[in-house]
């Protein structure tokens, strides 16, 4: 038996220095994720940094988070509502002033269907982001199908949103984001310096109280010690990324431009 804590759902460390660093703060950004808390884990520092500089941050969460518990007797309807409220609070803690949209597809059963691509393209057109942040669908050996499929839906949605012959029933202007930043990247080549924003990332993650036991390793009777240890693990990860990528604390991405 071991007392070692399970790993946090954070990126693998980059294996080489980054060739790209710190894009200009966008006017609008849209983060597209599989579950509540994915955005905060994967790019919370970047979102907080941009929000502090006036960027309108929008969240698009594809599933309902209904499998985010180890309690077989958990009321999943109540859990879905709790996770919705937690995501709203986490976005607020990051400084987000845009929309938080929960599509509500069943957690663990997300598929890259034309129907969901239609929904994603709608929200890209509606929110008009300069930058889209999303899961890297090409990451090798990924276990969670929702993350993989959310990545395909985000990228396929970008293509659909920019072309007037896709989903004409939206009745919206087409929109072409300038950049996509893919987190959980298989081959990251871009870093965002989040040195001043790791605390905001941790604060937002601690809004997801339903995940304390399953993901954060914070017991129900915690006196604050485990929560502090969780924060340290997040900060240590950011410092490790930074040590490889030339900043004090960082978040790494694959950058796609000329979309």
The whole-chain average pLDDT of the chain stands at 96
Per-residue pLDDT, averaged over 188-195, amounts to 98
**pLDDT exceeds 70 at position 2:** no
- Mean pLDDT across 79-100: 98
pLDDT at 48 over 60: yes
DSSP 214: I
CA-to-CA distance for 61 and 89, rounded, in angstroms? Answer: 14
CB 195 within 8 A of CB 248: yes
* 58: CB partners within 8 A, 6+ apart: 28, 29, 30, 31, 96, 98, 99, 100, 101, 123, 127, 129
> How many Å apart are CA 80 and CA 68, to the nearest integer?
9
Q: Which residues are registered as beta bridge partners of 33? A: 61
pTM of the model: 0.97
Share of the chain above pLDDT 90, in %: 95
Token digits for 73? 């007797």
pLDDT digits (tens, 9 = 90+) for 228-243: 999 999 999 999 999 9
Domains in the chain (CATH in brackets) are 20-257 (3.40.50.10320)
Phi, psi torsion values for 163, nearest 5 degrees: -110, 125
Average of per-residue pLDDT across 144-172? 97
């Amino acid at each position: 038996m071991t007392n070692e804590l399970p790993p946090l759902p954070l990126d693998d460390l980059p294996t080489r220095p980054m060739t790209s660093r710190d894009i200009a703060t966008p006017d609008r950004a849209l983060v597209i994720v599989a579950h509540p808390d994915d955005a905060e884990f994967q790019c919370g520092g970047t979102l907080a940094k941009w929000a502090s500089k006036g960027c309108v941050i929008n969240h698009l969460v594809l599933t309902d988070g209904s499998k985010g518990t180890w309690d077989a007797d958990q009321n999943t309807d109540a859990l879905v509502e709790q996770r919705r409220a937690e995501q709203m609070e986490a976005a607020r803690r990051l400084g987000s002033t845009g929309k938080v949209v929960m599509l509500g597809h069943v957690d663990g059963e997300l598929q890259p269907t034309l129907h969901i691509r239609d929904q994603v393209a709608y929200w890209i057109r509606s929110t008009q982001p300069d930058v889209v942040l999303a899961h890297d669908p090409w990451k090798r050996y990924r276990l969670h199908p929702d993350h993989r499929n959310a990545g395909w839906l985000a990228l396929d949605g970008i293509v659909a949103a920019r072309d007037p012959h896709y989903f004409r029933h939206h009745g919206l202007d087409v929109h072409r984001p300038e950049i996509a930043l893919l987190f959980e990247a298989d081959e990251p080549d871009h870093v965002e310096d989040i040195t001043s924003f790791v605390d905001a990332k941790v604060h937002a993650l601690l809004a997801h109280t339903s995940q304390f036991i399953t993901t954060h390793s914070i017991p129900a009777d915690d006196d604050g010690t485990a929560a502090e240890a969780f924060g340290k693990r997040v900060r240590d990860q950011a410092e490790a990324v930074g040590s490889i990528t030339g900043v004090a604390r960082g978040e790494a991405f694959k950058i796609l431009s000329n979309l």
